[in-house]
Amino acid sequence: MKTFKTEERALAVSEPESPLADKAVRMLAKSIYQTLKDEGCQHKDIIGVSSQLIGMVTSAMEDTRLK
């Protein structure tokens, strides 16, 4: 388990470490954002896509927990 400490609290993360480094995650997010903007998506559309992605990840995590 990986633990991150801040001045306010310690947060324990039980998920295995991501194969993507923080910098790679930021670059991927920026690339996706820019592609959506270039395709004409507005901020509300990008928020909608983000919400759907979070929902998919949440569902996958729940499915894994139930097995």
pLDDT, tens only, 11-62: 444 455 677 788 999 999 999 999 999 999 999 999 999 999 999 999 999 9
Closest to 33 measured CA to CA, from 50, 18, 53, 20: 50
Quote the pLDDT of residue 12: 43
Quote the pLDDT of residue 26: 93
Point out which residues pair with 10 in neighbouring strands: 5
Tell how strand 10-13 and strand 2-5 pair up: antiparallel
CA atoms of 51 and 31, how far apart (whole Å):
17
Quote the pTM value: 0.61
Specify the length of the chain in residues. 67
Q: Is the dihedral of CA 23, 24, 25, 30 positive or negative?
A: positive
Statement: residue 9 has pLDDT above 50: no
